[in-house]
A and B are shown apart, each in its own frame.
Chain A
Amino acid sequence: MKRRWITYLVLTLMAVLLGYPILWLIFSSFKPSAEIFASVRLLPKSFTFSGYVEGWRSTSQLPFSTYLLNSAKLVIPTVLLTCVSSVLVAYGFSRFSFPGKRAWFLVMISTLMLPNTILMIPRYILFKNLNVLNSYVPFYLQAAFATNPFFSYLLIQFFRGIPHELDESATIDGCGRMRILVSIILPLARTPIISVALFQTMWTWNDFFNALIYIDTVKMYPVSLGLRLAIDADTAVNWSKIVAMTVVSIAPLILMFLFLQRYFVAGIATSGIKG
Chain B
Amino acid sequence: MAQKHRLERYHGYLYIAPWLIGFLVLTLYPFVTSLFYSFTKYDIFSWEFAGLKNYVDIFTKDKIFANSLRRTLIYTVIAVPLKLAIALAMATLLARPLRGIGLFRTVYYVPSLLGSSVALSIIWKYLFKSDGLVNMLLKVIGVTGPNWLGDYHITFWTMVLLPMWQMGSPMVIFLAALKTVPEELTEAASIDGANPIQRYFGITLPMISPVIFFNIIMQTIEIIQLFTPAYIITKGGPAKSTYLYALMLYDTSFRDFKMGYASALSWVLFVIIIAFTLLLFRKSSSWVYYKDGEGL
Contact = CB atoms under 8 A, between A and B. Distances in A.
B203 interface: no
A208 B110 contact: no
B34 A146 contact: no
Contact of A227 (B10, B119, B250, B262): B119
A15 B123 contact: no
Interface stretch (B55-63, B76-84, B147-155, B263-271): B263-271
A250 B217 contact: no
Given A126-B29, A273-B176, A119 B34 contact: yes
A113 B217 contact: yes
Interface in B17-60: 17-23, 25-27, 29-31, 33-34, 37, 44
Contact of A21 (B94, B133, B210, B262): B133
B127 A121 contact: no
Interface string B5-22: 000011111111111111
Chain B interface mostly = helix
Contacts of A47: none
Contacts of A92: 12-17
Interface string A170-211: 000000010000000000000000000000001101111100
Contact of B259 (A14, A117, A121, A258): A121
B114 interface: yes
Interface in A57-114: 85, 88-89, 91-93, 95-99, 101, 104, 107-109, 111, 113-114
Given A88-B17, A114-B31, A122-B29, 6 more contacts: A40-B140, A122-B31, A125-B259, A145-B21, A147-B26, A253-B113
Interface in B160-187: 165, 168-169, 172-173, 176-177, 180
A89 B16 CA distance: 4
Contact of B168 (A18, A21, A228): A18
Contact of A121 (B108, B109, B263): B263
B194 interface: no
A173 to B, nearest CB: 19
7 smallest CB-CB distances across A and B, nearest first, come from: A145-B22, A96-B12, A92-B15, A122-B30, A272-B173, A269-B176, A206-B117
B216 to A, nearest CB: 12
Contacts of A177: 11
Contact of A88 (B18, B127, B290): B18
Contacts of A152: 19
Chain A interface mostly = helix
Contacts of B245: 117
B275 interface: no
Nearest to A271: B173
Interface in B111-143: 111, 113-120, 122-123, 126-127, 129, 131-133, 136-137, 140
Contacts of B126: 25, 37, 239, 243
14 contacts: A4-B98, A21-B133, A85-B18, A85-B22, A89-B15, A118-B31, A145-B23, A208-B228, A250-B113, A253-B113, A254-B113, A272-B211, A273-B173, A274-B210
B277 interface: yes
The size class of the interface chain A forms with chain B is: 35 or more
A48 interface: no
Given A91-B15, A208-B228, A98 B10 contact: yes
A85 B266 contact: no
A30 B140 CA distance: 23
Interface of A: 4, 7-8, 10-11, 14-15, 18-19, 21-22, 24-25, 37, 39-40, 85, 88-89, 91-93, 95-99, 101, 104, 107-109, 111, 113-126, 128, 141-142, 144-147, 149, 152, 177, 202-203, 205-209, 212-213, 224-225, 227-228, 231, 239, 242-243, 246, 249-250, 253-254, 257-258, 261, 264-265, 268-269, 271-274
Given A206-B117, A249-B118, A268-B169, A101 B273 contact: no
A114 B277 contact: no
Contact of A250 (B106, B114, B246, B267): B114
B118 A208 contact: yes
Contact of A117 (B108, B115, B232, B246): B246
B104 interface: yes
B118 A227 contact: yes
Given A22-B111, A146-B18, A115 B136 contact: no
Given A149-B19, A213-B254, A258-B106, A228 B26 contact: no
Nearest to A111: B27
A126 B30 contact: yes
Contact of A14 (B34, B90, B137): B90
A118 B270 contact: yes
B75 interface: no
A121 B27 CA distance: 12
B227 interface: yes
B67 interface: no
A18 B9 CA distance: 53
B188 interface: no
A104 B10 CA distance: 13
